[in-house]
């Protein structure tokens, strides 16, 4: 039997037959690999977006109320700004804390556990000095608080815990009180190192000084709150969906929420050259005429027009007009 070599045309015809076979029947087809998604164990995603949104709103309210509380207590303007909220492992939070620090471990009675507030010790010392009648306008160098300063600051923290309870009140009633105080981060092992936690980050501003203020909840502790039906559905519920008792709770707490009000005298722009030459006694012309009313901002939104004046020994404004919510001024 003699072998016969295939011609080039016969080879091409044979290959074309295989080319017509569907991909699903082709034994040589290499299926595309499924994309592997990396999981960040240091930032576990245990809380849903809706729950995180509720937590964010709650702690933004806490920041605003704390700004008012500290401004009144310390007799100077204190601005506490909400920065962000994140899910981390507990060891990452502890390792981020500078030493010495001021660490207030507090108990949430209804949850049966502890959480941590980290406050820059410079702000604590500043608060104690102002509470004691001092007139300091800036936060000094970082140092550990003395025993006396710690006791004074513990009384200040009672107001902080009260404001935290108020922030949580629309969702659930909590009883918060101080458990202990530490200055060394290594001594606050309230949960194991690799357990998840929710950390709320704030920034304290006093004049040109900035300080840290963070709040850490162990996830196992916070999980009890997240399972609460009122908290879980807070972003989906409308007013008409609430039970009368729940609606009354929201209404009562909304009435007591304090919002910042600003009367804007006017604005202008100057050159760097003019700014450098400026001296005490120089006048700056603003963009608003004397007879024009001032803009009044409520929570940074234009809500009213008013004229400046005086009431007793304080500067005051007299409301001239309310701005319609659809007004785009």
Taken in order of first residue, the domains within the chain and their CATH numbers are 49-256 (3.40.1550.10), 261-322 (2.30.330.10)
Q: Please tell me the pTM assigned to this model.
A: 0.60
Share of the chain above pLDDT 90, in %: 33
- Confidence label for 230 from pLDDT (cuts 50, 70 and 90): low
| Range with lowest mean pLDDT among 99-108, 207-216, 244-253 | 244-253
Residues 6 or more apart in contact with residue 43 via CB below 8 angstroms: 86, 87, 88, 89
Question: Which H, E and C letters describe 53-72, residue by residue?
Answer: HHHHHHHHHHHHHHHHHHHH
Inform me whether the pLDDT recorded for 299 exceeds 90: no
Q: Where are the alpha helices (DSSP H) in 107-234?
A: 121-131, 147-168, 219-226, 229-232
Residue 79, strand partner residues = 205
Mean pLDDT of the chain: 82
Q: What is the mean pLDDT of residues 1-24?
A: 62
Average pLDDT over residues 35-58: 72
Which residues are CB-neighbours of 270 under 8 A, at least 6 positions away? 284
CA distance 86 to 199: 5
Percent of the chain whose predicted confidence (pLDDT) is above 70: 79
d(CA 230, CA 97): 34
The DSSP H or E segment spanning 113 is: strand 113-119
243 pLDDT exceeds 80?
no
| Average confidence (pLDDT) over 156-183 | 91
Q: How far apart are CA 158 and CA 103, in angstroms?
A: 14
**What is residue 328's predicted lDDT score, i.e. its pLDDT?**
43
| 201 confidence band (pLDDT: 50, 70, 90) | very high
pLDDT recorded at residue 122: 92
């Amino acid at each position: 039997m003699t072998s016969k070599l295939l011609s080039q045309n016969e080879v091409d015809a044979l290959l074309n037959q295989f080319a017509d076979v569907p991909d699903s029947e082709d034994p040589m087809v290499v299926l595309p690999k499924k994309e592997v998604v990396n999981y960040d164990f240091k930032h576990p995603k245990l809380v849903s977006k809706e729950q995180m949104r509720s937590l964010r709103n709650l702690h933004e309210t806490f920041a605003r109320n704390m700004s008012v509380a500290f401004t009144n207590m310390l007799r100077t303007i204190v601005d506490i700004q909400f920065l962000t909220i994140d899910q981390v492992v507990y060891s990452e939070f502890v390792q981020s804390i500078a030493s010495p620090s001021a660490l207030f471990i507090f108990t949430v009675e209804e949850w049966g556990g502890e959480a941590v507030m980290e406050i820059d010790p410079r702000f604590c010392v500043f608060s104690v000095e102002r509470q004691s009648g001092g007139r300091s306008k800036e936060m000094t160098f970082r140092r550990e608080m003395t025993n006396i300063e710690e006791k004074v600051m513990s009384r200040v923290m009672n107001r902080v815990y009260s404001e935290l309870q108020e922030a949580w009140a629309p969702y659930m009633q909590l009883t918060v009180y101080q458990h202990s105080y530490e200055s060394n981060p290594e001594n606050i092992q309230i949960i194991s190192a690799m357990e998840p936690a929710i950390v709320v980050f704030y920034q304290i501003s006093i004049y040109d000084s900035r300080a840290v203020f963070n709040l850490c909840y162990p996830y196992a502790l916070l999980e009890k709150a997240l399972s609460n039906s009122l908290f879980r559905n807070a972003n989906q519920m409308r007013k008409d969906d609430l039970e009368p008792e729940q609606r009354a709770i929201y209404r009562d707490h909304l009435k007591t929420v304090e919002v910042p009000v600003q009367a804007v005298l006017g604005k202008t722009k100057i050159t760097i050259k003019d700014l450098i030459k400026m001296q005490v006694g120089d006048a700056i012309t603003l963009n608003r005429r004397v007879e024009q009313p001032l803009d009044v901002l409520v929570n940074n939104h234009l809500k009213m027009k008013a004229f400046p004046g005086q009431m007793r020994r304080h500067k005051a404004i007299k409301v001239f007009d309310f701005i319609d919510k659809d007004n785009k001024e």
